[in-house]
Amino acid sequence: MTSHVAADLSDARLAAWVPPMKSADADLLSELPVITNRARDLVRNNPIAAGAKQTLTDNIVGSQLRLSAQPKYRLLHWDKERANDWANIAEDQFATWADTTECDAARTQTLQGLTTLSLGSAFMNGDALALVMWLPRVGSPWATRLQTVEADRLSTPPWLFNQKHVRNGVEIDDLGAPVAYWIQKSHPGDENYCPAGQDDWERVPAFTSSGRRRVIHLFDKDRSGQSRGKSIFTSVMREFKVAGDYLGHELQAAASNALIAAFLESDLDPQTVADLFGSDIGTASDYWQQVSAATHRKKMEGGMMLNLPLGTKLSGYNPNRPNTAFNGFMESVLRHIAAGLNIPYELLLKDFSKTNYSSARAALLEAWRFFQSKRKWLQDHWLNPIYQCWMEEAVNANRIDAPQFYDNLHAYTGARWVFAGRGWVDPVKESKASQMRMEIGLSTQQDECAEQGKDYQEVQDQRIRELVEAFQKTEAAGLPEQAAYLIAGFAAPGKASASVQALDAMPDDVADDQNNDAQQQDDDPQQNNNSTSSNE
């Protein structure tokens, strides 16, 4: 008798479950090629897997990527005003590099495109790799470029297979820190286009002798000592495959059965057939061939009259498709898949038809926590190293003034990254919540604007410009001062704006009604099944 049921080997249900004890690399590296190829096949051919990958990249990066420089001004002995001025210059200079294809060695992507590509690659393949290159070009003010590399090219040369410090292309030191990366000069599966160079490897140091980063390796580390990453589809790959095959078989069966309208059944016994056609088998065969040619492939149409062959009757066909258990089975499997991918079922399927406002918001908040953690991971292991490499060039080129840069590298390269906004489920409720958070000191304009993918300084500057323009126009038109505030969306002095008044009235007039409707729908299962509440 074991102290822990989990260690019981006498239980028939657990006796055969004895996984081997291996290191992180021993568990993964030998099986990584199969996992990666299967994950790619899922994304290519399974619509839900393809949608899951797109949903993750859309919600983590989305439609924009902007730098918000945050120098550690106390460490630099600056005041806040000087830090803001310096940050504005750094942001403008960085945009001339990141918002153009000059940041890409292949000249095809902006930094946002490279980030989306690398994030999707890390999710699908387990790894994303980029080389930080120095490539001066005519007409370009920058020489720092990023070259993305397919994870398949990161591999161990045959002559280093038995070296313990080289793990699937990653060369590490005694402490496990990457020292260099062994990269094939061409893709191992590109034999039709690049037959030469597939057996050639290049050793790329992780850092230059001066400490400048050469390689950015993006992967999610699950265990200590892990050298490579694995696809996010790893734990749900079997469910994806079985569910996809099951769906395909159901579709095929439904399509095949839909082609059959009815059967012709004959109840003639052998004696009757002999009386009709005699003993000549050829006569009977010719007759049924003529019947088959005339009626077997005839289309069924409304109101049509059929001439049936001798001794036959028309029998209907019930295909029993789709399977009555199909929806329930698929939903159960897809919920397991959604849990394995750390996103809500509703978001995985893009289906909120059976969800009320409260449930939808709870699901999206849970998803948002996951997206935020992945954004932090992406900033720490991808965006911040890129920003540091660019900043080094900008300082050395005298485009940015940063005295004692190398001594204060961390202070100068502090940054926040503004991604696409998360959007709102109910704009009225969430606008009021945003207002309340700022009023009681739990949030700032910077935080609230960042959640919506905006820069708070730009928002403030734009609102001030609109107010000044409104004053100029109302003065020219002879309108009272209050009109300028209303036109610009501000509250007149001593009064709350129309939007704030609406928000203040909202809990009594709107929220209670919506909450009551949602509660009534939750309490009435029949109503919840027969109607959707996505408009809540």
249 and 210 Cβ atoms separated by less than 8 Å: no
Concatenate the DSSP letters of all residues of 41-67 into one string: HHHHH-HHHHHHHHHHHHHHTTT-EEE
* Pairwise CA distance, residues 38 & 32, whole Å: 10
Residue percentage of the chain with pLDDT more than 90: 50
Which residues, 6+ apart, have CB-to-CB distance to 403 below 8 Å? Answer: none
Q: What is the DSSP letter of 202?
A: E
Q: Which two tokens stand for residue 93?
A: 């200079």
In 3D space, the residue among 65, 80, 86 whose CA is nearest the CA of residue 405 turns out to be 86
> 137: left (phi > 0), else alpha (psi -120 to 50), else beta?
beta
* Pairwise CA distance, residues 389 & 133, whole Å: 10
* Three-state secondary structure call for residue 98: helix
Beta strands per DSSP E along 390-478: 415-419
The angle at the Cα of 170, spanning 165 to 173, to the nearest 5 degrees, equals 40
* Pairwise CA distance, residues 394 & 443, whole Å: 33
Using one digit for the tens of pLDDT, what is the confidence trace for 350-360? Answer: 888 888 878 88
The angle at the Cα of 215, spanning 211 to 220, to the nearest 5 degrees, equals 120
Write out the chain's pLDDT in tens, 536 residues. Answer: 788 988 988 888 888 889 999 999 999 999 999 999 999 999 999 999 999 999 999 999 999 999 999 999 999 999 999 999 999 999 999 999 999 999 999 999 999 999 999 999 999 999 999 999 999 999 999 999 999 999 999 999 999 988 999 999 999 999 999 999 999 988 888 877 665 556 789 999 999 999 999 999 999 999 999 999 999 999 999 999 989 888 888 887 777 666 665 666 666 665 665 665 555 555 556 665 666 666 555 555 655 555 556 566 666 666 666 677 788 888 899 999 999 999 999 999 988 888 887 888 888 889 999 999 999 999 999 999 999 999 999 999 999 999 999 999 999 999 999 998 877 777 788 888 888 888 888 888 888 888 887 888 888 888 888 888 888 888 888 888 888 888 888 876 655 544 445 445 544 444 444 444 444 444 444 444 443 333 33
* pTM for the model: 0.78
| Radius of gyration of the chain measured on its C-alpha atoms | 33
Residue type at 292? Answer: S
* Pairwise CA distance, residues 56 & 120, whole Å: 8
